[in-house]
């Protein structure tokens, strides 16, 4: 399936289930390689409207770091780690903490 077809399918899913955060998450990931504005919009929507959707945090923090938004990325990592701890998701805690430590090192924030 082409990227255009996947995006069209995901947009139809959003129309059918606008309250399902996975659809926005999938759209954000699909836009990462070619439409940074749309990816930004989808990640911001997820963080603002679906703050309990844990998968967002890893990719959103990495995305905003790549865009040079270090402060935003740092805040997203920290909120994601707190959420993962609250949800007792051990795998997410490890992944977020590891990525956060790399982020801090790469941005001289120690």
CATH number at residue 96: 1.25.40.10
pTM of the complete model? 0.92
Q: The domain containing residue 42 runs over which residues? A: 3-106
**pLDDT-derived band at 86, boundaries 50, 70, 90:** very high
For residue 81, what pLDDT band results from cuts at 50, 70 and 90? very high
Q: Is the pLDDT of residue 110 over 80?
A: no
User: CB-based burial of residue 106 (10 Å sphere; 0-12 exposed, 13-18 middle, 19+ buried)?
Assistant: exposed
Which residue pairs, CB below 8 angstroms and at least 24 apart, start in 71-77? 73/103, 74/103, 74/104, 74/109, 76/47, 77/103
Task: Count structural domains, the chain.
Answer: 1
């Amino acid at each position: 399936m082409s990227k255009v077809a996947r995006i069209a399918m995901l947009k139809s899913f959003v129309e059918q289930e606008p309250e399902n955060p996975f659809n926005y998450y999938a759209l954000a990931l699909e836009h990462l390689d070619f439409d940074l504005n749309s990816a930004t919009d989808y990640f911001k929507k997820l963080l603002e409207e679906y703050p309990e959707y844990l998968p967002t945090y890893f990719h959103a923090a990495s995305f905003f770091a790549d865009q040079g938004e270090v402060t935003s990325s740092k805040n997203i990592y920290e909120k994601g780690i707190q959420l993962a701890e609250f949800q007792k998701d051990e795998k997410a805690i490890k992944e977020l903490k590891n990525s956060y430590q790399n982020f801090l090192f790469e941005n001289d924030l120690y």
